[in-house]
Amino acid sequence: MLVLTAGRMNMKYPDEGPWNAGVEYRWAPLDRWRLIPTVGVTVAEQGAAYAYATLQYDFHLGHSWTLTPMFGAGAFHSGGDLDLGYPLEFKTGLAISCRVAGLYRVGVVGYHLSNASLSDDNPGTEVVELLVGFPVGAR
């Protein structure tokens, strides 16, 4: 699945947080644990960027709704007023989405970026994004 996102970083101070957009590729769930490997990139105003890999798990809530926790890590490049204190940042979050027309997903995702105190400076940031997912490849 290819997922497009758009939202706002630094939701603790939303008037100051930059707008962001991203793209993510989700593979099919792995057989044994049904974990979903993903890779993605998010870019924000004033040059901030985050390239990451996560593991996700889909909890199906009825026929159409899905709750998806995620955990991963990636490289962060500071830009403008958004400096997270270290180039390695961990991503933890939760998405809720609805299947539309039997193929697409539309939803919202919230996550936290933090360097887990790898640096003395660990401000972290909260991100809220809208998401739209499209199936790709063989079905």
Q: Which range has the worst mean pLDDT, 8-22, 53-67, 115-129?
A: 8-22
Q: Where are the domains of the chain?
A: 2-134
pTM of the predicted model over 0.95: no
Residues 6+ apart with CB under 8 A from 137: none
pLDDT in tens, 55-100: 999 999 999 999 999 999 999 999 887 888 899 999 999 999 999 9
Q: Which CATH architecture has domain 2-134?
A: Beta Barrel (2.40)
DSSP state string for 68-119: EEEEEEEEEE-BTTB--SSSEEEEEEEEEEEEETTTEEEEEEEEEEE-TTSS
Per the structure block, which two tokens stand in for 120?
Answer: 């003395």
pLDDT band with cut points at 50, 70 and 90 for residue 138: low
Convert the pLDDT of each residue in 32-44 to its tens digit. 899 999 999 999 9
pLDDT at 83: 83
Rounded Cα gap, residues 85 and 128, in angstroms: 20
For residue 71, the model assigns a pLDDT of 98
Return the pLDDT at 139: 57
